[in-house]
């Protein structure tokens, strides 16, 4: 159990600045930005046809 706690503490301290920044923005603004972001074109999968 101690190992999980130390991993949580490390992750929490590592992402504290990001959490502080995005907490101020708010989840609704992040969601709106993701919805309005331009969509990336997905590469068409190549179909190998048997000869």
Q: Is the pTM of this model over 0.75?
A: no
Taking phi over 0 as left and psi of -120 to 50 as alpha, with beta for the rest, 26 belongs to: left
Q: Parse the chain into domains and list their residue ranges.
A: 8-35
What is the model's pLDDT at position 51? Answer: 59
Average pLDDT over residues 22-35: 82
Quote the CA–CA distance of 22 and 28 in Å, as a whole number. Answer: 11
User: How does pLDDT run across 1-28, given as a tens digit for each residue?
Assistant: 556 888 888 888 888 877 787 777 788 8
Residue 45 pLDDT level (bands cut at 50, 70, 90): low
């Amino acid at each position: 159990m101690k190992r999980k706690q130390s991993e949580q503490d490390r992750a929490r301290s590592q992402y504290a600045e990001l959490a502080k920044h995005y907490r101020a923005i708010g989840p609704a603004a992040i969601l709106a930005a993701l919805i309005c972001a331009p969509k990336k074109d997905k590469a068409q999968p190549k179909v190998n046809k048997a000869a």
